[in-house]
Structure 1
Amino acid sequence: MDEVEVVAAHKQRVTLRVGDVFLKVDADPAHAEVEVRAMAMAPVPTPVVLWQEPPVLAIAAVPGTALGVLGEPSAASPAVWAAVGACIRRLHDAPLPPWPGRSLDDLRAGLDRECAWLLAGSVLPADVVRRNRDIAEAALRPWEPAFIHGDLQITHVFVDGDEVTGVIDWSEAAPGDPMLDLAVLTLGHEERLEDLLVGYGTGADRDVVRAWWSWRSLVAVRWLIEHGFDPDAPGCELDVLRARMREP
């Protein structure tokens, strides 16, 4: 009998691993529904769905290793990052999923709400919050929607050699701004953006990607704290926000 490994556990979701099977227990069954539908539609490698019995989704492990982790340098070569960029481009060029994504008004309202919370609690100096809020504004513009992953963290992309072997955790997939995926993947790994874009190709707006770095970090802090994570760990969200103060 394999040991049961707790991969992630917080108030919204628990993910367990038993051998080559992952069991995802989610408080909101709609997340699993989106995940299953998105993986079936995405033209990129995704985990095999073994079975689904709400609130549990069972999926097979994907081969390879994660592209990296937030807070540590990625050991992947520029060629691997370029391969990931090409994979993301295939997703963004695919037909849109039929369910709605988040609206621009919703994204702006969420940003305003989280900035107010950061200021009220003195989580960061006010000038850091305001500087990043100003930078994030560049992301909050109309965009041509694409099929996006929506939570494309570096730990959600698996590679083996120069090949992308799997992209996991699709519960946030929806029509949205493709620059958000590029930003989330390179959050804390800003120096790898150009490698990623070698494979992604034309059409990326670097200023908008940078704006999404600020937006993502600002809106994530409260959730991370409330679910037992540390956004102030080296190289993580608070460091990303502070780094913007060193830019012209």
Structure 2
Amino acid sequence: MPRSPLALAALATVAVPGLDAFDVRRPVHPGTDFDIAVVVDANRRRWVVRAPVHAAAGAALEAEAVLLDGLARASEAGTLPFAVPRPVGFAHLPEGGRAAVHAEIPGVALDVTRLVPGPGMCAAVGRAVAAIHELPVSVVEDAGLPAYDAQEYRARRQSEVDEAARTGKVPPTLLRRWEERLEDVALWRFQPTVVHGDLTNERILVRDDEVTGILHWGDASVADPADDLSWLLVAAPPEVADSIMEAYQLRRTELLDPYLTERALLAGELALARWLLYGVRSGDADVVADAVEMLEDLDAHTRPVPVGPAAATEPVPAVGSLV
């Protein structure tokens, strides 16, 4: 059973001595792995309390806490142009594990549908993502989080595709296309970087044409930078995505990755395979049905389209169908 806001407020007062809770409310995007509440103290300061709902989330929170300490130092030094949710206190939970409390970062979740191309918010988002990828990999390694080289990461993606294929629920033409891209050695020659690992518009806080913070770092690793870019190529209008990518590339140093965008688009497609596998592993028929519907839609929009007497040899991009 989810913890009530009052129960979470009580945890916050334990985690932060002297915190006098005046009000408590649920956040707009609460998530599924944590019970979350925003606690307002008597001085109108706002605090976020997160309590894991299962053991895996608890383990992720502990690893994330170490990482956030390093990221906060990078933010204070100006290496990261945004804030991160640095924990200021913890409260032990009866079932094991700990709840964490951090000061709320000002801003609202990024709305990509309201972005306009140019040097404003688009550029800020591109620079923020690039700054993550410019961090030293030791920030992640010192926190005990995963680090992969390019071929190890490619093998992980191949394993996911193989497991998805065994479900019998992925259209054959889609499987063949994925396998061809995974077998293309040139596509997978990239320099691994620090990646957020679960970057979406809801993780990015903005205000006044600036990125103020990035949340939820529990899936961070050293891996393919394309993964952090896939969400915007799927969700943002093409001209907006172009502006973000231009700012991103200008912020990166020595970026020699001609297949970055292609891998990012592929990562967006493979996210559907992982959603399918999540539904199968958890026995959630609704998730499976949702994944199958999206996979079939993707397949329908990436099949060759007849042009005159012959068929086109290149598939039609389907990113718009996934929004």
With a CA cutoff of 8 Å and minimum separation of 6, indicate the structure with the bigger relative contact order: 1
CA shift in 2, pair 1:156/1:113, >3 Å: same
Shift of 1:242: 5.2
Shift of 1:125: 1.9
Q: Deviations over 1:162-182 (max 9, x none)?
A: 100110011122222222212
Q: Give the alignment's Cα RMSD to 1 decimal.
A: 3.3
CA shift in 2, pair 1:161/1:46, >3 Å: same
Assess if the C-alpha contact under 8 Å between 1:217 and 1:238 holds in 2: no
Assess if the C-alpha contact under 8 Å between 1:136 and 1:215 holds in 2: no
* Pairing 1:74–2:120 present: no
What amino acid does structure 1 have at the position aligned with 2:55?
A
CA shift in 2, pair 1:241/1:163, >3 Å: farther
**Aligned to 1:64, which of 103, 107, 125?**
107
What amino acid does structure 2 have at the position aligned with 1:22?
V
1:227-238 mapped onto 2 (5 Å cutoff):
230=287, 232=290
Shift of 1:193: 2.5
When normalised by structure 2's length, the TM-score is 0.62
**Aligned to 1:198, which of 246, 265, 287?**
246
* Partner of residue 219, structure 1: 274
Q: Residue 23 of structure 1 aligns to a residue in which SS?
A: strand
Give 1 or 2 for the bigger CA radius of gyration. 2
Give structure 1 stretches of 5+ with no counterpart: none
Q: Distance in 2 between matches of 1:166 and 1:180?
A: 19
Assess if the C-alpha contact under 8 Å between 2:24 and 2:38 holds in 1: yes
What amino acid does structure 2 have at the position aligned with 1:208?
R
* Partner of residue 92, structure 1: 133
* Pairing 1:164–2:233 present: no
What amino acid does structure 1 have at the position aligned with 2:180?
D
Q: Residue 188 of structure 2 aligns to a residue in which SS?
A: coil
**Aligned to 1:47, which of 77, 85, 88?**
85
1:71-150 mapped onto 2 (5 Å cutoff):
74-78=113-117, 79-96=120-137, 97-99=139-141, 100-104=146-150, 107-137=153-183, 141-150=188-197
* Partner of residue 66, structure 2: 37
Assess if the C-alpha contact under 8 Å between 2:171 and 2:299 holds in 1: no
* Partner of residue 23, structure 1: 50
Q: Deviations over 1:20-75 (max 9, x none)?
A: 4231415234312332233233323212423234332223332222123xxxx622
Give structure 2 stretches of 5+ with no counterpart: 1-22, 40-45, 72-79, 92-96, 304-314, 318-323
**Higher mean displacement: 161-170 or 138-147:** 138-147
Assess if the C-alpha contact under 8 Å between 1:214 and 1:241 holds in 2: no
**Aligned to 1:182, which of 220, 223, 229?**
229
What amino acid does structure 2 have at the position aligned with 1:31?
A
* Partner of residue 24, structure 2: 2
What amino acid does structure 1 have at the position aligned with 2:49?
F
Q: Residue 130 of structure 1 aligns to a residue in which SS?
A: helix
* Partner of residue 200, structure 2: 153
Q: Distance in 2 between matches of 1:143 and 1:198?
A: 19
Assess if the C-alpha contact under 8 Å between 1:184 and 1:216 holds in 2: no
When normalised by structure 1's length, the TM-score is 0.77
CA shift in 2, pair 1:38/1:238, >3 Å: farther
